[in-house]
Amino acid sequence: MKINNIRNFAIIAHIDHGKSTLADRIMELTNTVSQRESQAQLLDDLAVEQAHGVTVKSRTVRNYYQADNGEEYEYNFIDTPGHVDFTYEVSKSLAASDGALLLVDATKGVQAQTVANFRLAKANNLVVIPVINKIDAQAAEVERAEQEILSLDAEFANGPILKISAKTGLNIHDVLEVIHTTIPAPTGSRQAPLKALVFDSQYDSFKGIIAYVRIINGQLKANEDLLLMANQQRVNANEVGIFTPQRVAAPNLVAGDVGYIITGLKDPKALRVGDTLTNYAQPTAAALPGYEPAKSVVFAGFYPKGDNFNDLQLAVEKLALNDTSFEYHQENSDALGAGFRCGFLGIFHLQIIRERLQNEYGLDVLTTAPNVTYNVHLKNQSEPIMINNPIRFPDFAAVDYVEEPLAQATITTQADLLGSVMKLADQHRGQLVDMANQGELIVLEYRIPFAEIAYDFFNQLKSVSHGYATLMTEFAEYDLADVVKIEVHVNYAKVDALSFVVHRDDVANVTQELVHKLKYVIPRKLYPMPVQAIVEGKVIARVDVPPLRKNAAVSGDKKSISKKQALLRRQSVNQRQAAQSDIELPQEVFNAILELEK
């Protein structure tokens, strides 16, 4: 294909505005896939995606389009995720594209992710084509959506604003035409030395690392020797090819193309997404600018259930390769043994990774209660220490002061829901910074501790706004926080994995609720076990997990005094022996912390 007839573009939108449906329709109209195949959504093929009905990973597909002007075009499109936790995936896809279709749901209009993704596309110098989708829906307000698009960028008045239904197929032909008339062909020279951007990757147990590349300059054939520029690693292109959407081998990839390279690299850490690939013998002079590494916001421990630490290690290594925003390192807990401390972009991201471990690797992991990273300033030390694991939170006597991460949170809401949304943000220690109108929507800017919004805030916001309000967050700064560590002792022994950090004001409520929840989820033993929540050395709350059998001391059975005393003696010996001994920690115990009403 001539480079002039290639178009590389992304489809971007707010969650659920119809990206995957439009992608399916494009593949159908270009005969990339048959009608029968396209009955099921083709691109969201990860089990987690089907379960939640959302895109988690970006997908790439090559289509051939016979245009009205008689020319044939190669369309490489990248379907991207819409959930706020996966913005990082979107920015990678955009770096590999020259243009973007910005999809707006006619029943919802411009929403927070629409704005954010539009800005990302502009930052990557992409040509953006607005497309209003779902015009078939009863609740569609096409004109209003159009006005909102124009208030996003007045320049849209100069170009077409398409109105389609991805569901019924209405006006999809216009979309296919506008792509080649509006989005520029890639610029790049086939003669120059090879320069390819690795914009994504995947791990295959047999084939090793598969790099997803956009060829900027030059060309490459199978079996050529290549160089990964970041770590000067030499690799062989075992196979090169394109996505149809399945991988199909091709003789070569040339400037402008999007495709894959099977590298055979077996070490999942050997390749970094954002790296530049070049020819080993004739390298290009300078690497492409890489991506900003993603910044983890939420941390939690993953521990194997049973004796499969090695399986878990391999699985997290491979997942981290497929999802570069997921980070991990090994940690040990007295209560749980060896595991991993993992970093995520948000709680939904955590949930997705956990489900992927289950679905793709058959691993059921124990997940400890999530937390954020604290900067702890010690009394006798000038430099603060970063704590992302409550087990390591220093003793209160040594702590001078603590700082916590604040988010810049942008909440977009309908005017009539303003009251409930502001109340929710207030309950979560949000400080209102700015408030502005965007069409009929109100955009609120908050400074709000990540610890307050990292867990369930998004769901609560959806619930108070009946699904309409949207949330975008980014890291703002560290700020002083009056937080304390809660330790949990079961049967007088500290259970390190159950430690967590909360604001001092919440201590009384949280500890009471916690011990009462733990009473029902800690597996019972033959003797009663006290559960204590301890803050700064003081027991703040306590309950007893009842014994499996009746307690001799409180048993109502009629027994002689001496028999009862003998029973009590035996019971107390058991109890003393049992203190310190292992207690089991099923997942429900950690969920009890996660579900606390903070």
3-state SS of 243-263 is: ECCCEEECCEEECCCEEEEEC
H helices of 124-273, in order, are: 142-152, 172-182
Decide if residue 137 touches ligand GTP (CB under 6 A).
yes
Task: Please tell me whether the peptide bond between 245 and the residue prior to it is cis, using omega within 30 degrees of 0.
Answer: yes
Report the binding-site residues.
16-21, 133-136
Please report where in the chains the tokens 């009384």 appear, as a residue. Answer: 508
In terms of phi and psi (left: phi > 0; alpha: psi -120 to 50; beta: otherwise), the region of 11 is beta
Contact region with ligand GTP (CB under 6 A), list: 163-171, 236-244, 366-374, 484-492: 163-171
Decide if residue 273 touches ligand GTP (CB under 6 A).
no
Q: Which is nearer to ligand GTP, 19 or 485 (CB)?
A: 19
Task: Quote the least distance from Cβ 15 to ligand GTP, whole Å.
Answer: 4
Task: Quote the least distance from Cβ 464 to ligand GTP, whole Å.
Answer: 22
Q: Which amino acid is at 553?
A: A
Task: Quote the least distance from Cβ 12 to ligand GTP, whole Å.
Answer: 9
Q: Which is nearer to ligand GTP, 15 or 484 (CB)?
A: 15
Q: Which is nearer to ligand GTP, 101 or 454 (CB)?
A: 101
Among 7, 17, 92, 428, binds ligand GTP (CB under 6 A): 17
**Quick one: 281 exposed, middle or buried, by C-beta within 10 A (0-12, 13-18, 19+)?**
exposed
Three-class DSSP category at 224 = coil
Q: Which is nearer to ligand GTP, 272 or 462 (CB)?
A: 462
Among 6, 13, 162, 369, binds ligand GTP (CB under 6 A): 13
Q: Which is nearer to ligand GTP, 133 or 371 (CB)?
A: 133
Q: Which is nearer to ligand GTP, 30 or 107 (CB)?
A: 107
Task: Quote the least distance from Cβ 309 to ligand GTP, whole Å.
Answer: 34
Decide if residue 57 touches ligand GTP (CB under 6 A).
no
Task: Quote the least distance from Cβ 169 to ligand GTP, whole Å.
Answer: 9
Task: Quote the least distance from Cβ 167 to ligand GTP, whole Å.
Answer: 3
Q: Which is nearer to ligand GTP, 84 or 229 (CB)?
A: 84
Strands 162-163, 127-133: parallel, antiparallel or unpaired by DSSP? parallel
The residues near 375 (Cβ < 8 Å, ≥ 6 apart) are: 384, 385, 386, 387, 402, 403, 404, 478
Task: Quote the least distance from Cβ 34 to ligand GTP, whole Å.
Answer: 19
Q: Which amino acid is at 121?
A: A
Q: What does the block give as tokens for 507? A: 């201590």
Please report where in the chains the tokens 């050529």 appear, as a residue. Answer: 224
Decide if residue 18 touches ligand GTP (CB under 6 A).
yes
Among 84, 166, 321, 448, binds ligand GTP (CB under 6 A): 166
Find out whether 489 and 532 touch, Cβ atoms under 8 Å. yes
Q: Which is nearer to ligand GTP, 20 or 325 (CB)?
A: 20
DSSP string, 106-124: TTT-S-HHHHHHHHHHHHT
Report the binding-site residues for GTP.
16-21, 133-136
Please, what is the end-to-end C-alpha distance for the chain in angstroms?
58
Three-class DSSP category at 71 = coil
Three-class DSSP category at 423 = helix
Contact region with ligand GTP (CB under 6 A), list: 10-18, 315-323, 382-390, 412-420: 10-18
Among 38, 136, 280, 536, binds ligand GTP (CB under 6 A): 136
Nearest Cα neighbor of 339 from 373, 392, 307, 301 is: 301
Decide if residue 134 touches ligand GTP (CB under 6 A).
yes
Decide if residue 16 touches ligand GTP (CB under 6 A).
yes
| Calpha distance 520→499 (Å, rounded) | 18
Find out whether 384 and 375 touch, Cβ atoms under 8 Å. yes
Q: Which is nearer to ligand GTP, 137 or 185 (CB)?
A: 137
Decide if residue 19 touches ligand GTP (CB under 6 A).
yes
| Calpha distance 393→484 (Å, rounded) | 9
Three-class DSSP category at 216 = strand
Give 259's strand partners: 213
Contact region with ligand GTP (CB under 6 A), list: 18-26, 93-101, 229-237, 393-401: 18-26
Q: Which is nearer to ligand GTP, 167 or 462 (CB)?
A: 167
Task: Quote the least distance from Cβ 35 to ligand GTP, whole Å.
Answer: 17
Among 32, 133, 367, 470, binds ligand GTP (CB under 6 A): 133
Nearest Cα neighbor of 454 from 367, 370, 365, 534 is: 370
Q: Which is nearer to ligand GTP, 52 or 377 (CB)?
A: 52
Decide if residue 81 touches ligand GTP (CB under 6 A).
yes
Decide if residue 197 touches ligand GTP (CB under 6 A).
no
Task: Quote the least distance from Cβ 16 to ligand GTP, whole Å.
Answer: 4
Q: Which is nearer to ligand GTP, 20 or 368 (CB)?
A: 20
Decide if residue 54 touches ligand GTP (CB under 6 A).
yes
Decide if residue 165 touches ligand GTP (CB under 6 A).
yes
- The single-letter DSSP state of residue 5 is G
Contact region with ligand GTP (CB under 6 A), list: 16-24, 241-249, 433-441, 490-498: 16-24
Site size for ligand GTP, by CB under 6 A?
19
Task: Tell me phi and psi for residue 146, to 5 degrees.
Answer: -65, -45
| Calpha distance 552→567 (Å, rounded) | 6
- Cβ-closest residue to ligand GTP? 82
Q: Please name the helix (run of DSSP H) or strand (run of DSSP E) that holds residue 51, with its range, or none.
A: helix 47-52
Decide if residue 93 touches ligand GTP (CB under 6 A).
no
Task: Quote the least distance from Cβ 509 to ligand GTP, whole Å.
Answer: 35
Task: Quote the least distance from Cβ 338 to ligand GTP, whole Å.
Answer: 35
Please report where in the chains the tokens 């091709």 appear, as a residue. Answer: 250
3-state SS of 159-218 is: CCCEECECCCCECHHHHHHHHHHHCCCCCCCCCCCCEEEEEEEEEECCCEEEEEEEEEEC
Among 55, 111, 263, 375, binds ligand GTP (CB under 6 A): 55
| Calpha distance 450→474 (Å, rounded) | 9
Among 8, 21, 97, 201, binds ligand GTP (CB under 6 A): 21
| Calpha distance 202→507 (Å, rounded) | 44
Q: What helix, strand, coil percent values describe the chain, rounded to 5?
A: 30, 35, 35
Residues that bind ligand GTP (CB under 6 A): 13, 15-21, 54-55, 81-82, 133-134, 136-137, 165-167
